[in-house]
Amino acid sequence: MQDSLKSSSYQQLEQKSKYTNMFLRWFLYFTLILFASYFIFPLYVMVVTSLKTMEEIRQGTLLSWPSGINLESWAVAWGGRGYGAGDTFLRPYFWNSIKMVVPAVFFSTFIGAMTGYVLTKWRFKGDQWVFLFLLFGCFIPFQAILLPMARTLGVLGISNSVVGLVLVHTVYGIPFTTLFFRNYYVSVPTELVKAARIDGAGFFKIFFKILLPISAPIIVVTVIWQFTQIWNDFLFGSTFSFGEAAPIQVALNNMVLSSTSVKEYNVDMASAIIAGIPTLIVYVLAGKYFIRGLTSGAVKG
């Protein structure tokens, strides 16, 4: 008697927890979908608008589907309309940005790796202070250094040039890259360096042969970080360059804001997407390593 009573109440409880679980699961998916659409929505509007003609934009709503795949606005954004003065398009500035990003990412990553190596494996008196001041560079508001930097670039004779922007981005990237590499190398046993020294390897050989080959995860993290920062930078680009030497973000701004006639939303949207594509590609290609690298410093081995 008692047993059957017990088992029936268990059945009730089981039934109840089943409904609760089901409800929670639906609630979870509902929330996830809601947030996902919230993030996807602007991208949808951008892509759809860029594929429409101006006529369609004027007549339809923001969300309406384009009549067909119309790539004309993309062509205009990339290569212009072909008539002379006042025609701003992204192609030359895109290459400016590439010419700026590639060396700046390379140098800042390399120098950061080297500095991180010295700060962890060749400790010297006062090294914590050096690191502290480098960290300071991470928190300095960049507006504060615009004037002195402009002066420096002027003295060096590289203002309003891609070379000047490479220098600026390298210098202000070093605090971050150093922080990344230092934290990574701290977890690499110093005994490796000791063993290599006994084996007769010197400062550079230890770095290139022993440490750099095991740094792939943190290199990926640093490259993604630096690439995104430098590619998306607007402040330095707009301050230290104008006209033909400007990087893509500055050109995008000029294009969108300076058009005197009708606002061409489809061209603006296409331009914005073009300006964002490289960082997207870098994330898709290396995103897996990005997550792995960010956590690999924490877990040894």
Partner 1 sequence: MKTLKIEELSKNFGSTEVLRKINLEIDEGNFLVLLGPSGCGKSTLLNIIAGLETINEGNVFIDDYNVSKVEPKDRNIAMVFQSYALYPSMNVRENMIFGLKQAKTSKEKIEEQLEKVSKFLQVDQLLERKPSQLSGGQRQRVAIGRALVREPRIFLFDEPLSNLDAKLRVEMRREIKKLHQQLKTTVVYVTHDQTEAMSLGTRIAIMNHGVIQQNDTPENIYNKPSNTFVADFIGSPSMNLIKGTLKETSGEISFTASGSNVEIPIKDYEFKDKSNLNNKEVYFGLRPEHIYFKKSNESDFEINLRADLSEYIGHEQIMTFDYANQEILAKFPSTVKIELAKETKLYFDLTQTSLFDAQIEERI
- CB of 206 vs partner 1, minimal distance in Å: 10
Residue 199 binding partner 1, by CB under 8 A: yes
Residue 69 binding partner 1, by CB under 8 A: no
- CB of 190 vs partner 1, minimal distance in Å: 9
Burial of 119-128, coded b for 16+ CB within 10 Å and e otherwise, reads: bbbeeeeeee
Nearer to partner 1, 214 or 281 (CB): 214
Q: Kindly identify the residues of this chain, within the stretch 206-235, that bind partner 1 according to CB under 8 A.
A: 209-210, 213-214
Nearer to partner 1, 30 or 122 (CB): 122
Which helix (H) or strand (E) segment holds residue 16: the answer is helix 2-50
Residue 292 binding partner 1, by CB under 8 A: no
Nearer to partner 1, 210 or 270 (CB): 210
Contact 53, 273 (CB under 8 A): no
Q: Give the count of alpha carbons within 13 A of 262, CB side only.
A: 8
Nearer to partner 1, 214 or 291 (CB): 214
- The number of angstroms, rounded, from the C-alpha of 151 to the middle of its chain's C-alpha atoms is 28
Tokens of 41: 């929505």
What's the rounded Cα separation, in Å, for the pair 113 and 227?
16
What's the rounded Cα separation, in Å, for the pair 102 and 169?
11
Residue 189 binding partner 1, by CB under 8 A: yes
Output phi, psi for 27, to 5 deg.
Answer: -60, -40
- CB of 296 vs partner 1, minimal distance in Å: 13
Residue 45 binding partner 1, by CB under 8 A: no
Looking at 18, 197, 263, 288, which residue binds partner 1 (CB under 8 A)?
A: 197
Contact 227, 105 (CB under 8 A): yes
Nearer to partner 1, 73 or 120 (CB): 120
Residue 200 binding partner 1, by CB under 8 A: yes
Residue 126, CA distances (Å) to 30, 119, 123, 149, 161 in order: 55, 10, 9, 27, 37
Q: Looking at 51-59, 102-110, 186-194, 224-232, which segment touches partner 1 (CB under 8 A)?
A: 186-194
Burial of 151-173, coded b for 16+ CB within 10 Å and e otherwise, reads: ebbeeeebbebbbbbbbbbbbbb
Tokens of 109: 């990553």
Residue 192 binding partner 1, by CB under 8 A: yes
Looking at 71, 195, 281, 285, which residue binds partner 1 (CB under 8 A)?
A: 195
Residue corresponding to tokens 């960290």? 135
Residue 118 binding partner 1, by CB under 8 A: no
Residue 296 binding partner 1, by CB under 8 A: no
What's the rounded Cα separation, in Å, for the pair 146 and 240?
9
Nearer to partner 1, 201 or 286 (CB): 201
- CB of 205 vs partner 1, minimal distance in Å: 7
Q: Which residues bind partner 1 (CB under 8 A)?
A: 189, 191-192, 194-201, 205, 209-210, 213-214
